[in-house]
Amino acid sequence: MVELKIRYISKEIEKLRYIDGISDWIDLRSAEDVTLKAGESKLIRLGIAVELPVGYEAHIVPRSSTFRNFGIIQTNHMGVVDHSYCGDEDEWKMPVLAVRDTEIHVNDRICQFRIMENQPKLTFTEVEHLRETSRGGFGTTGVQ
């Protein structure tokens, strides 16, 4: 089991919960009330700072209902937090763009995260040819 050290910057948000057997994504909540007009953007405070273990990173993405419920999209599509972003004031935030007028309240579940091991070290070997396939190019299964 991997230990995450959490500092709650906001005392108003619910504590993080790992729900074993249901999902390995952990919900994150807005730590502030936010009112946005269509076309406005904001970094929404998530009210936590996390000390990730060395060799891990966190991936932050919207919940599947975030767009429907709040009319916002995450502007960086997926946030990546590495283990070096671990200080008391390194609060996690979600950059959003509103596509309609909306209100988000403290404790609204707006995104989720999971931790992943860092990518292993890679080497790149230049070759003249790769193995042959009959897929036919980008986005195809080979069926024409």
**Residue ranges of the domains in the chain?**
5-117
Per-residue confidence (pLDDT) for residue 52, from 0 to 100 = 95
Active site residue 20: no
Query: In sequence order, what are the beta bridge partners of 42?
Result: 96
Q: Which two tokens stand for residue 31?
A: 């730590």
**Mean pLDDT over residues 5-28, rounded?**
90
For residues 61 and 110, the answer to whether their CB atoms sit within 8 Å is no
Q: Which two tokens stand for residue 90?
A: 């390194």
Q: Which two tokens stand for residue 13?
A: 């948000």
* Helix/strand/coil percent split, the chain, to 5: 5, 35, 60
Give 49's contacts (C-beta < 8 A, 6+ positions apart): 6, 7, 9, 86, 87, 88, 89, 90, 91, 92
Q: Tens digit of pLDDT for each residue in 72-118? A: 999 999 999 999 999 999 999 999 999 999 999 999 999 999 999 99
Mean of per-residue pLDDT scores for the chain: 92
CATH architecture type of domain 5-117: Distorted Sandwich (2.70)
Catalytic pick among 82, 88, 101, 108: 82
Distance (Å, whole) CA 112 – CA 103: 19
Q: Which two tokens stand for residue 3?
A: 């230990």
Question: At which residue do the structure tokens 């897929």 appear?
Answer: 135
Q: pTM (2 decimals)?
A: 0.85
Q: Is pLDDT above 60 for 140? A: no
Task: State the CB neighbour count (10 A cutoff) for residue 13.
Answer: 21
- Residue 79 carries which side chain, given as an amino acid letter? G
Task: State the CB neighbour count (10 A cutoff) for residue 136.
Answer: 11
